[in-house]
Amino acid sequence: MNDSKEIVARETNDAAVAKLPLLAALVALCGVADAIYLTVHHYTGEQVPCSIVAGCEQVLTSSYAEIWGIPLAAFGALAYFAAFSLAVLAAFGNGLMWKVFGVQVVLMAIFTAWLVYLQAFVIGAFCQFCLASAAITFTLFIIFLASRFLQPKAETRP
């Protein structure tokens, strides 16, 4: 009787873990959209409408907004697309890709924390689209952490 309850609990836990890569893929697509939006605005020279916070242009035209002449948003789009791809592969059962996703998301979160620091303490202005990207990255990080805590425990039989 107890064994059937353990099996049901384990299957429920496994189902929750399996849904997390799908959720991560969806969240990563939001990141792709945000990053592509900023990249397009960079290359067309259009100002980004800043309706929530002031300072978008100050952030997006700062010396920190590009690496080798390429906008950070373009690198962000690539990173989010890679996260999306890894999450989709993980959702279809590739556990190694979920681990690679985790490494990538940790690196993204560290870099994002640095960029938020730059906005707050160096540039002295915030970009709402950059903050949205930060929220998306930290959400991906939290999803990955949740998957580690919801991971089924190895069974030990006496």
Q: With a cut of 50, which residues of the chain have pLDDT below it?
A: 1, 3-13, 16
pLDDT 10s digits, 68-113: 989 999 999 999 999 999 999 998 888 899 999 999 999 999 999 9
How many structural domains does the chain have?
1
Q: Is residue 85 part of a domain?
A: yes
CATH of the domain at 105: 1.20.1440.130
Tell me which long-range contacts 47-52 makes (C-beta under 8 A, separation of at least 24): 48/127, 48/129, 50/127, 50/128, 51/128, 52/128
- Residue 156 within any structural domain of the chain: no
Please name the amino acid found at residue 74: A
Which domain covers residue 124, as residue numbers?
A: 2-149
Alpha carbon distance 13, 7 (integer Å): 10
User: Mind spelling out the 3-state secondary structure of 96-126?
Assistant: HHHHHHHHHHHHHHHHHHHHHHHHHHHHCCC
- Identify whether 154 is part of a domain: no
pLDDT at 5: 43
- Which residues, including other chains, have CB under 8 Å from residue 94's CB and lie 6 or more apart? none
pLDDT computed for residue 154 by the predictor: 53
Query: Residue 68: left if φ>0, alpha if ψ -120 to 50, beta else—which one?
Result: left
